[in-house]
Structure formats: C-alpha cells, structure tokens
Amino acid sequence: MSEHVVLVTGASGGVGRGIAHACAESGWTVWITARRQAEGQQVADEVDARGGRGHFRQCDAADADAVEQVVADIVATSGGLNGVVLNATSGLSPKPGVFAETPIAELEDHVAVSLRGMHVLALATYPHLRASAGSFVALTSEAGFEGKAKLSVYAAIKAAQRGIVRSLAREWGPHGVRVNCVAPLAGTPAMDRAFEMDPEMAARVLGRNPLGRMGDSATDIGPVVRFLLSDDARYLTGNTLMADGGSCPIN
Amino acid sequence: MIASPLDPLREMASALGAGFVAVPPCPLSIGSPQGADDVWRNSAVLEEWRATNAEGEARPAIVVAVWPDEHVSAAFTETSPNEFARRSEWPFAAWYAALGIAARRAADDGAIVALVERPSPLDGAGWAPESGAADAVEALVRSLARSEGHRGVRVNCVTTPARLAPTTVIAPPPSLPRFPGRVDHEVTQAVRMLLGPGVAGVTGTVVHADCGRSWR
C-alpha cells in the first residue's frame, strides 16, 4: 500500500465532511460511511474533486456486520488502512433534555452509535491499523470535559469516548498504533439545530470564544484531524487536541 | 446512599450514617442473559426504579456509587459484545438513572457525591470500558453541577482504583505507599470531605482518592 487510506464515519455532512475534504487535499484515499446515501456519495464526489480518491458505503455505525463488511471492502480495494476517524454520532445528540427526565430508553441510540459503535469499529479496524502502524482518531467534544446542563447524555457519551481512548492508547501503543481525540467546535448543521432548540446557546457558545467565531469544518477542524492521521503526529498518542478556538475552560 | 449492594459500599453507608437504596443488578449478570440487547430490553426496569426512588423526602447529602459485582480486565479487542455491554452500556444507563434520582432528592443547598471506580491513566490498559464509564460520570457530575447549582446544590466526584489496580504497577510508583487506597479509609474520607460544610464553594470537581496515581 503506497497511498494513504483513511476511513471517516458519519461523514455525509458537518465535521466529517470537513475532515474528508482536508484529507482529500493531501491526495489521500478517503472512505466515507454514513446512513444517508445521497449525501454520503456527494461527499465522496467532493473528495475526488479536491484531489483525493473518494469512496462511499452506506453503513450504520452500530451494525457490527455492516462495519466489518465495509472494512473488508476497504482492504480488498485499497490494499490496507492507515487511519480511522470515529465521527458518527447519534441523531439525538443536539436534543436538549432535563437530566432526571430523559427516558432511559432514549440513551440507547447514543450508546449504540458512539460507544458500541466505537467498540465495533475498533474490533474491525485494529488488525489493519496494526499492519500499517496507523492512527485512530475519535471526535469528542468540549461538552465531554465540562458537562452540559441540557445535553447531559451527549456530554457523557463524549467523555466516555475520551476515557476509552486513554486506555486504548496504552493497549495499542506497543503495537505501533496511535489513538487520539479531537474536540472540535464547528459550525455544522447539527450545531445549527442545537441553536434552534436552545436560542440562548449561540450567545453562550460564542461569548466565551477568544477567536469569536465558530470553526470551519474543512479549514479549522479537518487539518487538525489530518495531522493526527499523518506521520507528522507519529509521537502523539492518548491525547485530546482542542480545536475549539480556545473556548473550553478545561484543558 | 444510592449504590450497588456490595459490602464496601454498605459499610460506607453505615460509616456515613446514611440510608441505602440498592441499584438494580445488570441484566447480563443474572439469570440466563440472551445477549447485549438485554441491557436495553430491560431499560424499563431502570426507568421504574428511577421513578419510584425519585419521589420522597429531600436529603441534604447523597452519595451515588454504581459498581459491578466484580471486575475482569481484558484487551478492548478481546472484549466480547456481551462483556462490552456489561462493562460499558449498563453502567452508563445505571449511572444516569441513579444520578437522576440524586438530582430529584437532593435538598436545596445540599450535596451530591458520585463515587466512581476509575483506573489510573498509567494503569488503564485492559480497562477501556471502565475508563470510559468513569469519564462519563465526571461529565454527568459537571452537567448536574450546572443544572442544580442555581438552588445551591453542590455536585462532585470521587474516583478510586481500589478494585482495579494491578498488583505490579508501571514505574514510577504511586506517591503514597498505601496505593490504591481502601474504600473504608481514604475513599470514605474524600467522600465525607466533599459532603461536608468546609467545601461550600466546591462543585463540579473531581477528587482522585488514589494515593497520588493521577494528576488530573
């Protein structure tokens, strides 16, 4: 395998799309998975247009069989896998709720996509990352550091991913595989929905941001993830990079 | 105290003079589990437990501790879907329900302490689900500190590796030779401190009662 081959999950829009664009601009082969067929294929076409090689497979991040099949396709077609980006997240992520009133059953979709999905993705990709001395990146959030009064499930899920990454870095490091997180703050359709559901949120989010603006998925967030996927970050593991314009008060 | 019915936690409740509300067992640890989906097929059990215990007299101090009966360390990629559900998915749901009860039952100006098992970062290999659960609880604590702070309720977290620490630790050794610490000694002291009046301005923070093994 002479080319750089990466998989970005949940990349039919938002931050995942930005990461795909950034990787494309380095000429990488970018495999995109998402549930939305038309939007996912569009992003694959955009990767081609930006100098990379784009592929799309429709896939539910919580479906172990489907994820294994996609990874098998990648290896068979591209000859291996250098990097994986766990970006898929529950569609319920921006839905606000009162802590003690959120139905327990509602937690399942968050857990299925982001925690079980992380386990499924790790199992499917680890042998190939080990073969390439590759890199695994999980997209977490500043919410996972500081909690959120109205988005407590999302915040806890994102924190859990960071905890898992901390242990995985110790387990996979001796085999040459790096594992890191990026906590982005980006203007995305999901963030737009969150602002709509909580009109005061925009003032809270931007009011404390020293750079005074939301990040751009392709030019502010994507290059940070690309760095972690690249050999330039070959001595970096077990970390969370805050691509949030200095917004988060915890680091 | 809202906790798993384990001896060290019952003893802590006794030492604190607290009543005891038992957390329901993981469905994958009882009977004849069918698979990881058991966790979510049984979500109604947690829902009903939360609803039942959320009603009642307000309490000035509440400790929450959702601990499994036992721990088994395993590499993440050698962890079966059932084991992942038992070690990650169930604790996530049970902690969420238990802290929801605490939020409802905490009196104004009261205190909540979440006591979570957390492997120290240096000793985290083999404990990815537990590391994830512990970080999730930290975030839940901060979320609750935000939502309940307006009525004076403080919400903090104590972590312990008491049941997770390896027999041989990676160098350098922990700062205190008593590592990993005992639930009935160092851990109870930290919980008692965060429940007490001497920390009236402390909320949303985490105290690692691990004898100096963690630095954040």
Nearest-CA distance B215 → chain A (Å): 13
- Which chain B residues are closer than 8 Å to A119 by Cβ? 76, 79, 81, 84, 88
For the record, the structure tokens of B105 come out as: 């039952």
A156 and B121 in contact by Cβ < 8 A?
no
Nearest-CA distance A90 → chain B (Å): 15
| Model confidence band, residue A1 (pLDDT cutoffs 50, 70, 90) | low
- Which of A119, A165, A200 should we substitute to test contact with B (largest number of B Cβ atoms within 10 Å)? A119
Tell whether B216 is covered by a domain: no
- Which chain A residues are closer than 8 Å to B203 by Cβ? none
* Residue A45 predicted with pLDDT over 60: yes
Please give the C-alpha separations between residue A101 and each of A18, B47, B100, in angstroms, as whole numbers: 35, 10, 8
Of A103, A153, A161, the CB nearest to B47: A103
For the record, the structure tokens of A123 come out as: 């199992």
* Nearest chain A residue to B170, by CA: A170
* Nearest chain B residue to A148, by CA: B143
- C-alpha torsion A122→A123→A128→A134, nearest 10: 20
* Residue A119 predicted with pLDDT over 70: yes
Note the pLDDT tens digit of each residue in A88-108.
998 888 788 888 899 999 999
- Interchain CB contact of A38 with B (< 8 Å): no
**Phi-psi domain of B194 (left: phi exceeds 0; alpha: psi -120 through 50; beta: other):** alpha
The CA-based angle A89-B142-B18, given to 5 degrees, is 125
Tell whether B80 is covered by a domain: yes
- Interchain CB contact of A170 with B (< 8 Å): yes
- Which chain B residues are closer than 8 Å to A160 by Cβ? 88, 92, 132-133, 135-136, 139
Measured in whole angstroms, how far is the alpha carbon of residue A249 from the centre of its chain?
22
Of B44, B138, B143, the CB nearest to A149: B143
For the record, the structure tokens of A176 come out as: 């040459």
Tell whether B215 is covered by a domain: no
Beta strands in B11-146 (DSSP E): 21-22, 59-65, 106-117
Closest of A101, A94, A146, A157 to residue B99, by C-alpha: A101
Which residues constitute the domain of residue B196?
2-208
Of A152, A153, A160, the CB nearest to B132: A160
For the record, the structure tokens of B168 come out as: 């041989």
- Interchain CB contact of A147 with B (< 8 Å): yes
Q: At the topology level of CATH, where does A5-239 sit?
A: Rossmann fold (3.40.50)
The CATH number of whichever domain residue B195 belongs to comes to 3.40.50.720
Nearest-CA distance B23 → chain A (Å): 14
| B180 cis-preceded (ω within 30 degrees of 0) | yes
In chain A, where are the structural domains located? 5-239
CB contacts < 8 A, A to B, total 156
- To which residue do tokens 């399942």 refer? A108
Which residues of A are part of the catalytic machinery? Answer: 141, 154, 158
pLDDT of A251 reads 56
- Interchain CB contact of A149 with B (< 8 Å): yes
A166 and B103 in contact by Cβ < 8 A?
no
B76 and A150 in contact by Cβ < 8 A?
no
DSSP-derived pairing of the beta strands A83-86 and A135-139: parallel
Note the pLDDT tens digit of each residue in A137-179.
999 999 999 999 999 999 999 999 999 999 999 999 999 999 9
Note the pLDDT tens digit of each residue in A6-39.
999 999 999 999 999 999 999 999 999 999 999 9
Number of domains in chain B: 1
Note the pLDDT tens digit of each residue in B57-112.
999 999 999 999 989 999 999 999 999 999 999 999 999 999 999 999 999 999 99
Tell whether B124 is covered by a domain: yes
The residue ranges of chain B whose pLDDT is under 70 are: none
Strand order in the sheet with B59-65: B21-22, B2-3, B59-65, B106-117, B154-160, B206-208
* Residue A128 predicted with pLDDT over 60: yes
